[in-house]
């Protein structure tokens, strides 16, 4: 291992990018500490879990780097003289006057910043009618917490609305209560597998179907249970296509047996299916 590290330090890549290789882990640690600080300062906020944030950051970095590499290769194939000129410019940058170094450095930074913003551009989500009203209700419920395990004023209300006596797991009851609040047909059950009716499924990772809309219901399957074990609401995709979801009886890390209504982002491949009950 030591020999491998010594060999890596002798590469051109390390000599060129050693400052970046040092600052990246420092930024990741700072990012984690800031996220942790906000979770203490704003305990009722809907912060996304750190693993998903890291996953999104890695995916975005990989996507952006791939686009830059493809553009550079494409230029080499389509316009070799221009590619050679840019290559000479790159290697001769250190010989430029300080003024021109500052001009070019600022210009390239702005170009990369704008390009990154375009790559990260997200999808605009339309929420007409019931979906718009549901979004307001979901936002207002992010402060809901249990007072004791699977109990609390709002938790009891969710469970009672589907005919279940508290205490009990309540992710399904949360979905049923919110949909029924707007008179939307749904299983109206605390039993999460009841939301996995094939006739209601509009999307799976292997067979993406209709365009997903806020208020559709996501379903998670647990191999340890041998069945569906958690449900909640799909909200919208983030910039990289990860799903922003909201569920009851969850926690900061997305647990299926937590103490709150929580919001997080999740890789779509981790979703078993998505069903639709709001037909508008």
Q: Domain spans of the chain?
A: 1-41, 129-275
Q: How confident is the model at residue 133 (pLDDT cuts 50, 70, 90)?
A: very high
**CA–CA gap between residue 36 and residue 240 (Å, rounded):** 23
Residue 48's pLDDT is: 54
pLDDT at 253 over 80: no
Least confident among 113-127, 159-173, 253-267: 113-127
Would you state the structure tokens that stand for residue 76, as one six-digit string? Answer: 């080499």
Residue 14's pLDDT is: 67
Q: How confident is the model at residue 50 (pLDDT cuts 50, 70, 90)?
A: low
Whether the CB-CB separation of 274 and 201 falls below 8 Å is answered with yes
- The answer to whether the pTM exceeds 0.75 is no
Residue 46's pLDDT is: 46
Residue 11's pLDDT is: 74
**Crossing angle (nearest 10°) for helices 171-181 and 129-140:** 130
* Nearest alpha carbon to residue 188 among 162, 165, 157, 163: 162
% residues pLDDT > 90 (the chain) = 44
User: Of residues 217 and 61, which shows the higher confidence score?
Assistant: 217
Whether the CB-CB separation of 22 and 15 falls below 8 Å is answered with no
CATH 3.30.1120 is the classification of domain 129-275? no
For residue 217, the SS3 value is strand
pLDDT at 44 over 50: no
* Nearest alpha carbon to residue 227 among 182, 194, 276: 194
Name residue 230's beta-bridge partners.
220
């Amino acid at each position: 291992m030591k020999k491998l590290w010594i060999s890596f330090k002798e590469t051109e890549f390390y000599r060129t990018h050693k400052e970046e290789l040092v600052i990246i882990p420092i930024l990741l640690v700072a990012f984690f500490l800031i996220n942790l600080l906000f979770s203490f300062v704003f305990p009722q906020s809907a912060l996304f879990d750190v693993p998903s944030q890291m996953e999104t950051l890695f995916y975005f970095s990989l996507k952006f780097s791939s686009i830059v590499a493809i553009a550079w290769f494409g230029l080499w194939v389509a316009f070799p003289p221009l590619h050679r000129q840019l290559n000479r410019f790159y290697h001769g940058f250190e010989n430029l006057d300080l003024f021109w170094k500052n001009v070019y450095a600022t210009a390239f930074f702005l170009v990369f910043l704008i390009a990154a913003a375009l790559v990260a551009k997200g999808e605009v989500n339309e929420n007409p009618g019931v979906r718009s009203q549901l979004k307001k209700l979901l936002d207002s419920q992010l402060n809901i917490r249990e007072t004791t395990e699977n109990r609390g004023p709002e938790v009891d209300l969710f469970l009672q609305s589907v005919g279940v006596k508290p205490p009990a797991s309540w992710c399904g009851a949360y979905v049923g209560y919110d949909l029924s609040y707007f008179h939307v047909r749904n299983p109206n059950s605390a039993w999460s597998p009841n939301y996995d009716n094939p006739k209601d499924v509009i999307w799976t990772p292997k067979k993406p179907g209709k365009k997903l809309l806020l208020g559709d219901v996501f379903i998670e399957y647990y191999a340890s249970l041998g069945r569906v074990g958690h449900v909640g609401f799909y909200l919208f995709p983030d910039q990289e296509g990860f799903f922003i979801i909201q569920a009851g009886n969850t926690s900061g890390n997305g647990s299926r047996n937590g103490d709150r209504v929580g919001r997080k982002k999740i890789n779509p491949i981790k979703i078993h299916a998505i069903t639709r009950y709001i037909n508008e």
